[in-house]
Structure 1
């Protein structure tokens, strides 16, 4: 069946499709959008013709999504979010009256440090502006130019992205963590400890790693890795009650060690400092709203001295 040309499709159909896929009910979707049920049924009929698929199939008193509709759920939400961002653009950005959402990729460390500071400060400057912080994944980091087309930025250390605009917004140092009752470690860590004791690593793949973890191997230490955690805040839970070693940023270590069941220790080698930036797609460079957002990261992102 020939598909409806894109020029004849309406943005309202995308809105209707998103509501139908979310609610899985014509009546509930109509109520959500403030439309009559016949009006939304007409939109569903057009969608069924376009996709040559039923989209929703009745099962008793409920509806289920067809396999195609299941695949459309995330794509539709992403497309609708992108459309909203297109129409949210303004020639002049007024933070006092703006109602814009900025989406930023990063790690839990970046959110707990840089992100939380920027969000708290912006709340008092631009009450209608909010941030959505989303965890990056290896595929996102591997293709930053593509990934950054649909978001406003990514908080990421140097060494992962290139040929993209960025501003430096944080720097930190690495410290080692061990359980407070880890008797295999004395008052200070030794190189033998690093070689002999098991480790918990944060990220461990071709595109997802920490510079400090790579440096260990560069100085001749091949760590025995007991577990890999996709984040930094969960790491101490993998140390308590074991003789394992982990490594996190100093800013997180201050909070993690507050309970007293984990202690922070200086590494027995000179660890490269962590330098991170806010990266964005070049298409955002001249956007007044994006320029304002970047200024907030520059102003509030760094840890107070």
Structure 2
């Protein structure tokens, strides 16, 4: 296999036309440069530089190679140099985002508008998130993911917070809980819809109620907050959903603070380290962070 370092040596030799000056430029001894020239002659089958008076002149083969070798060396430097600029107008790429339908509904329009303005050649593909496994990020099937990061998250996945949120209650307009003081006991006595992508039927709200000696009745378990909101609008069910998803309460709903104390949670974006330095991916992360900001 040829020594590709010889391309740099050949580029400098052809540019300087002198073994001594080439050695000085590459910080080599003249004897080391002479040995490198000998290896180049053997590799190319051409003397490359021949003596003419007190100097050296390039052979026709050397003249033929000069521009080609110079371009190869420049291209190699460009490949190994960190990328600092990105022409978004020239980017043609599809990013796959794994997130919930509610997240797409809430933040998708602003994100799409931002992308259409900055990089019209970029397309987004949203896939449904049904679990917290990071295999798709690791395997490259997904470029970016959103969700609440828990202690079981893969240590090889990078994360950055997008926003903090809290759960609030939602019932139909005119529901008994929409009138009068709301206590934990009144809240627990109602029929509830619980959101769980894992099929569980209890969570933090149940733990908080249990601490007060109360138990709520979960009548139905669904996989998404939009479904829970729709059921609350059309029935007497009580839903508990992230406040961000109902920042402008839909018609026919009454929203209220939960009568139990729960800690807020942080929604973050997740990505694999292989994407961290990619300029287009970095730009996408900036867009997502900005559209999800306060």
TM-score of the pair, normalised by structure 2: 0.62
Please state how far the C-alpha of 1:222 moved relative to its aligned partner.
3.8
Name the counterpart of 1:262.
253
Q: 2:153 aligns with which of 153, 161, 164?
A: 161
- Where does residue 124 of structure 1 map in the other structure? 117
Aligned with 2:96: secondary structure?
A: strand
Q: Which residue of 2 aligns with 1:237?
A: 230
Correspondence 1:218 to 2:211 = no
Structure 2 residue corresponding to 1:192, chosen from 185, 189, 195: 185
Q: Deviations over 1:150-177 (max 9, x none)?
A: 1101101121624120111122222100
Q: Counterpart in 2 of 1:113?
A: 106
Question: Mind listing any 5+ residue stretches in structure 1 that lack a counterpart?
Answer: 1-90
Aligned residue pair count: 205
From the superposition, tell whether residues 105 and 123 of structure 1 become closer, same or farther in structure 2 (CA, over 3 Å): same
Deviations 1:270-299 (A, max 9, x none): 222131111012221222221221122223
> Whole-Å Cα distance in 1 between the matches of residues 272 and 215 of structure 2?
37
| Structure-2 change in CA distance of 1:188 and 1:250 (3 Å) | farther
Residues 189, 266 of structure 1: 8 Å contact kept: no
Structure 2 unaligned blocks of 5 or more: 1-82
Aligned partner of residue 233 in structure 1, secondary structure: helix
How far has the Cα of 1:250 moved from its partner? 1.6
Instruction: Determine the C-alpha separation between the residues in 2 that align with 1:277 and 1:251.
Output: 14
User: In 1, distance between residues paired with 2:197 and 2:122?
Assistant: 35
- What is the root-mean-square deviation of aligned Cα atoms in Å? 2.5
CA contact (8 A) 2:205 2:260 kept: no
Task: Classify the secondary structure of the residue corresponding to 2:192.
Answer: strand
Q: Please list every run of at least 4 consecutive aligned residues from structure 1 whose deviation after the TM superposition is greater than 6 angstroms.
A: none
Rounded to whole Å, the distance in 2 between the matches of 1:121 and 1:191 is 43
Contact 1:115 1:301 in 2 (8 A): no
Residues 96-111 of structure 1 aligned to structure 2 (within 5 Å): 96-111=89-104
Secondary structure of 1:270's partner?
coil
Partner Cα distance (1:203, 1:217) in 2 = 13
Which one has the largest radius of gyration? 2
- Partners in 2 of 1:241 and 1:297 — Cα distance? 33
1:267 CA drift (Å): 0.6
Q: Matches of 2:159 and 2:177 in 1, distance apart?
A: 43
- Give the 3 Å change call, closer, same or farther, for CA 223–288 of structure 1 in structure 2: same
State the Cα distance separating 1:241 from its structure 2 match: 4.5
